[in-house]
Amino acid sequence: MLHSAEEHFSHLRSLIHARSFNDTTLGFLESLLVSKDVESATEVRFTLTQFLRSESLSVIRSIAAKTVHQKLLILDFFVRAFALLGDVQSCLALRYEALVLRELKSATASCEWLQVSSVEWLNFVVDAVHNGFHSVAEKVSVLCIIYLQLAL
């Protein structure tokens, strides 16, 4: 990466380490993806994807004591970041984690606002199938059937 790009990447790293999971950080991430040539764009995207995969795992391990709302905001940030990077696998994985978290907490905490609708599950299944994750879609479909049976 060029010197300027390294400085920008360093700034993104500091934002993530400062736990600045907001639209400003996402906007900065998006600005890093703008490149003059394909080779640079590919290199930057790869580097950012590897960095965010590592950081997301670290952050997720560290948020156990946070509230459900805070956890969901952080998961949403990383889902959106991976979507910007075009990392469908990470995006879907974290979307799934957020849906499962909401479903589990809605049942144990009696928080109806956390309940995952069948439409949300269906949208997830469609996205998984569309992106070639057929086994994931099948497993989620089975979960949907179980949730629907429990709701009846």
pLDDT, tens digit, 9 for 90 and up, residues 39-82: 788 888 999 999 999 999 999 999 989 999 999 999 999 999 99
Q: Given this model, what pLDDT does residue 81 score?
A: 97
List, as one string, the DSSP characters of 109-143: S--GGGPPPHHHHHHHHHHHHHTT-HHHHHHHHHH
d(CA 85, CA 80): 9
Output the six-digit token pair for 62. 């560290």
Whether the predicted pLDDT of 2 surpasses 50: no
| Domain extent listing, the chain | 3-116
Q: How far is CA 45 from CA 9, 25, 87, in A?
A: 11, 16, 9
